[in-house]
Amino acid sequence: MAKEEKIEKAQIKRFFPPKKKVCRFCQMNVREIDYKNVDILRRYIPERGKISPRRTTGTCSFHQRRLAQAIKRARIMALLPFIAD
């Protein structure tokens, strides 16, 4: 059965559960990302302090650019770390 084969393959690929990635900012209908909104920006910065790439967060290109800009501004304002030790 071709259908069963497909299901098996999907299960093998699942090292970690496949979450459907949708841009959270598009979902919330946000156009501009405020650099003072540290709680939201923190979600896109793992322990290392680097900005998460689009492929891991699912953010669209428009919002990824806004996000990167906001994070950089927040760093300058000392709201976020440049590099986490």
- Residues within the interface to Zn ion (CB under 5 A): 23, 25-26, 60, 63
Nearest residue to Zn ion, by Cβ distance, number only:
23
In the bound complex, what is the minimum distance in angstroms from residue 79's beta carbon to Zn ion?
22
In the bound complex, what is the minimum distance in angstroms from residue 56's beta carbon to Zn ion?
15
In the bound complex, what is the minimum distance in angstroms from residue 74's beta carbon to Zn ion?
19
CA angle 7, 9, 13 (to 5 degrees): 120
Helices (H), the chain: 2-13, 24-27, 38-42, 54-57, 61-76
